[in-house]
Amino acid sequence: MRSARGSWRALGIVRVLLRHRLDALLEGTAVGGWLWLLKPITRRASATDLPRGQRLRLALQELGPIFVKFGQVLSTRRDLLPPDMAEELSLLQDRVAPFPGEVARARVEAGLGRPIETLFTDFENTPLASASIAQVHAARLHDGREVVVKVLRPGIRQRIRDDIALLRTLAALADRHHPSAEKIRAQEVVSEIESTLYAELDLQREGANGSLMRRTWAGSDELYVPEVFWTHSSESVLTMERVRGIPSDDVEALDAAGIDRKALAARGVRVFYTQVFRDNFFHADAHAGNIWVDLDPARKDNPRFIAIDFGIVGQLTRRDQYYLAENFMAIFQRDYRRIAELHVEAGWMPATVRIDELEAATRAVCEPYFTRPLSEISLGEVLVKLFKTAQRYELTLQPQLILLQKTLLNIEGVGRLLDPKLDIWAEARPVLEKILRERYSPATLGNEFRKRLPELITHAPDMPRLVHEFLSQQVRGEHSLRMRSEDLAELARISRAGQRQTVYAILGTGLMIVAAVLYALEAGGPQFMGIPAAAAIAGLGAFGAFLAAWPRR
């Protein structure tokens, strides 16, 4: 039953792609060769003369909320998408029709195990906001404090499971048939989307993210994070302090409130770099809807940001954090040789790459930017182009680095909207220099050594014995070498795939013969476009079997 539902859903996706004239995305694949069968029964959308990125955005919106979320996550993968598509997908709005307030009340009671009257003195049935994963309601605690209650949509877990399973199937087809499968790495993209969606399903995890960020920025004049009420939160319900502010892209409202936009823009850049390199914990969904500006009249000349929605946060390994900071400093100093060396030292690129070639490619990316005024230079754009250039040399990027790149572009976009003449480099460089001085100062290194000293002392007695055993094995020639044959594993995989393809090919041939016989004999029963339904079902089954039997490239 689930397989049949998935097949119809896949057919519906292809029809939506055809409606928006996006069949070119499937050219060169096995599916693309069969699209002509669906074109006669697919009505074109009225706006097919729009750019392809816009048509893709409209198609994802038509497919539903999970595919909107898929598009948002995919927009962060600028290493895979053309710029026009990435820009359009970043505009996707995660807004869907709300579910009834009575259902939300029931889900809050089920999630917290108490009647709504014992939890809140007031709970508004009309939601403040509704998205694909959850919706938010205003409420009031018994002590009078205003809060917002975030509750998961009913049935969302099952829907995500079904759509992820379908995306896995489509990714397998892309891996098998797409000419650029190795570059696209479809299964990795789906895994990233799956990880992001399941992380957003755990509201307790989101609350923990917000709680940590609030503690990190406690008492700050630059960023305010609302309080989490753990007594009123669980995996499916999150209750937080209600805050009020102006979305950071609402320039007219900011001007009307008398906010110093230049000071605000500079502060936003400093907050981001501090989160990444001081805290190693940054808000990774930092669009204007999640970053507000405090409305307190006393803060007109000293504006403060308010962060909300902590479903997606980013962290880097200490190694990546160090090398990224060093890369930024090398970019500031236009030291292209150092940038090339750092990419290799970090393990982002193979050690076999020629440093002089990578240096020349880096210079070609960066030099055109330095001919512009500093206020027009985007560090995010430089980073995106550096990563794209390095892909030619087998660049290996971790998902968190891609998340950082996307967040940096968001922050710079908001900063330039607030202050078109913002010199991002001038604001970021002092922050980086200060953090690096503190991070790698003798005092900090001494503290790190003291923290690890008990571990070193614990293992110290074993060291002489381990060294003696190793040297003895070398002298006697008894050291062991463990090997795993990748070639044998690959041959076994090819053999299994060949057997499976043979079975599917035989099945497809049989079903095709059945379909032809039923059509020729004009089998009775219901019909679909003049074709007996039984023959049509057999033909679709044959089509599916032939697709499964199609050899990998």
Q: Can you tell me whether residue 369 is helix, strand or coil?
A: helix
SS3 233: coil
One DSSP character per residue, 22-63 reads -GGGGTTSTTGGGGGGTGGG-PPPTTTTS-HHHHHHHHHHHH
Which tokens hold the place of 11?
Answer: 């057919």
Is 175 in the active site? no
CB 328 within 8 A of CB 432: yes
Phi first, then psi: give them for residue 493, nearest 5 degrees: -65, -45
Let me know if 135 is exposed, middle or buried by CB neighbors in 10 A (0-12, 13-18, 19+). Answer: buried
Distance CA 524, CA 533 (A): 9
Burial letters for 447-459: b for 16+ Cβ neighbours within 10 Å, e otherwise? eeeeeeeeeeeee
**φ, ψ for residue 46, nearest 5 deg:** -70, -25
Across 141-209, the runs of DSSP E, i.e. the strands, are 146-152
Q: For residues 272 and 380, what is the distance between their CA atoms, to the nearest angstrom?
A: 12
Question: Choosing from 23, 285, 294, 320, which is the catalytic residue?
Answer: 285
Query: From CA 253, how far away is CA 462, in angstroms rounded?
Result: 66
* Integer Cα distance of 93 and 89 in angstroms: 9
What is the rounded CA–CA span in Å between residue 91 and residue 414? 14
Alpha-carbon distances, residue 153 vs 87, 135, 203, 205, 405 (angstroms): 28, 7, 12, 17, 30
Give the active site residues.
285
